[in-house]
Chains A and B, each alone.
Chain A
Amino acid sequence: MNAIETLGDRTLYYVNQIGRMGIFLALVCVSVVKPPYYKISYVTRQIYLIGALSIFVIAFTGVFTGMVLGLQGYTTLRKFGSEGFLGSAVALSLIRELGPVLTALMVTGRAGSAICAEIGIMRNSEQIDALECMAIDPHKYIMAPRYIAAIVSMPLLTAVFDVVGIFGGYLIGVVLLGANEGAYFQSMYQNVEYADISMGFIKSLCFGLLVVWICTAKGYFVHLERKGGFGAEGVSRATTNAVVLASVAVLVFDYILTSLLL
């Protein structure tokens, strides 16, 4: 195959993939809102798997992110005699930027990879074909509960990340380095506005949808993977691709959303 053929082949593949994923997202969105509705127990189970089981890792990541922000922020602000603004610096960084982004990245690694692998195995072992043949819509039965769970869980996990991160900043800035406790919370209270919180909330909603979309679609179309999606190797390749693509997409969309919301 010459270079032009390869380029054409790859272009066709990626255009096809984007089209497939777009139609897939549309079908899932329709199945989310259109009756008959899925059982609530399916959604709560997915909220448990995506949300509840991620709390520990989110809290752990959040506290250390806050601690780093506290340490870096205090050291930098002290140079300007502005350590009183440490609280607002930590809170704004977390609420507007780091909270939604790092939460999305952690959920991608912990839950997104599991979702992709599970659906990929279901595809390869004909379980999805079996559902279709039983006249059960896989978009409604498998995907819709995961989409709702991700969209519900992501803002809540982000909130946990933010709160724990602010506590981490307090631990280092106030308890360890001796910044003023009242100034830490007062500056936060004065400088964090509703617009900051809503920006973080909108980002986390969008990232929730983005992560679950990429991970479910990569699993669902594992058999159409470019380098072959069959067997354990195919599923592992699709899972890796899903995590990489979702992580990159989160960062790209973070910039786009920030520029739109500022």
Chain B
Amino acid sequence: MTMDPLIQLIDVRKRFGTQEVLKGVNLAIYAGKTTVIVGESGKGKSLILKHILGLVRPDGGTVLVFGKDINAIGRKELKEIRSYFGVLFQNAALFDSMNVFDNVALPLRERTKRSEADIKKIVGETLALMDMTDSDEKYPAQLSGGMRKRVGLARALVLNPKVVFFDEPTTGLDVAKSNEIYRVFYRTQAKLGYTAVIVSHDVPKIFKLADYVALLHDGVVQDCLTPEDFQTSTNDIIRDFVEKTMGHIYDSEQMEATP
């Protein structure tokens, strides 16, 4: 990894009350690559994304995005940086009072001066990329979990962002729906070529998507390695995580295979 990182977290610390959630996170994210952040639930993975997005200010440390300290810049500059981002939230964060079309069209209507005809065309194409062509008129409450995530992804991608953040993209979905999301991810990343940052605990499936895997454990990123290196790492904590998550699956498979 010799190129300059697109996003860099340097010794980021965050405390809520008496609980120190992030204890000095260091992480680099490179352009055009997919970085997956794994770790136990509730240990601060999504909080790392919120720091990068400028939604949460760290108690200490620096978050550099495109070379700029996101906590030292003004609102205007922050807005400009965010205009290069797309985010798929854990629960999709769709606007309940808007239908699917209006949800996806919102960034186009608010951030561009495109005509309604143009917007209709772009939204139609984006929804087609998600296999969601027949759901324009439906409201979020009428969609399944997987469909909501696909609409959320359509909204995140509609302005061709440089970086897309996925916060637990498959949480709460069954295997078939998870696979759908991964297929959409492959398809859209191949077409749009964005940098992806994925927070997930869908191990080992998520390793197939990753260029780099970072393990957050005890408020610290233990290491950020390629999936192959990650699985053969000699770091005790990473090895323990791999054994717990992947070993469990192999054990289950063995148990099922045993007559």
Contact = CB atoms under 8 A, between A and B. Distances in A.
B93 A130 contact: yes
Contacts of B80: 135
B53 interface: yes
Contact of A135 (B83, B89, B94): B83
B85 A133 contact: yes
Contacts of B55: 129, 132-133
Contact of A134 (B50, B82, B96, B165): B82
B82 A125 contact: no
B154 to A, nearest CB: 13
Contacts of B53: 129, 132-133
Interface stretch (B105-113, B120-128, B191-199, B209-217): B105-113
Nearest to A134: B107
B79 interface: yes
B95 interface: yes
A137 B93 contact: no
B106 A127 contact: no
Contacts, number: 51
In the complex, which of the residues B50, B89, B90, B110 has the most CB atoms of chain A within 10 Å of its own CB atom? B110
Contacts of B222: none
Nearest to A122: B95
B87 interface: yes
Contacts of A129: 50, 53, 55, 89, 93
Nearest to A136: B110
Given A127-B95, A129-B55, A134 B89 contact: no
Nearest to B89: A126
A135 B79 contact: yes
Interface string B63-96: 0000000000000000110110101011101111
B82 A133 contact: yes
Interface size class of A (residues with CB under 8 A): 10 to 19
A127 B90 CA distance: 11
B87 A136 contact: no
A78 to B, nearest CB: 54
A125 B111 contact: no
Given A127-B95, A129-B55, A132-B55, A137 B89 contact: no
A134 B204 CA distance: 31
B82 A132 contact: yes
Contacts of A122: 95
A165 B169 CA distance: 57
A133 B190 CA distance: 23
Nearest to A118: B97
Contacts of A185: none
B87 A133 contact: yes
Contacts of A64: none
B95 to A, nearest CB: 6
Interface in A122-180: 122, 125-127, 129-130, 132-137, 141
A133 B82 CA distance: 6
Contacts of B50: 129
Nearest to B95: A127
Nearest to B111: A135
Nearest to B55: A129
Among A126, A132, A133, max chain B CB count under 10 A is at A133
B5 to A, nearest CB: 20
Contacts of B89: 126, 129-130
Given A127-B95, A130-B93, 15 more contacts: A122-B95, A125-B93, A126-B90, A127-B96, A129-B55, A129-B89, A129-B93, A130-B87, A130-B89, A132-B82, A133-B87, A135-B82, A135-B85, A136-B107, A141-B110
Interface of A: 121-122, 125-127, 129-130, 132-137, 141
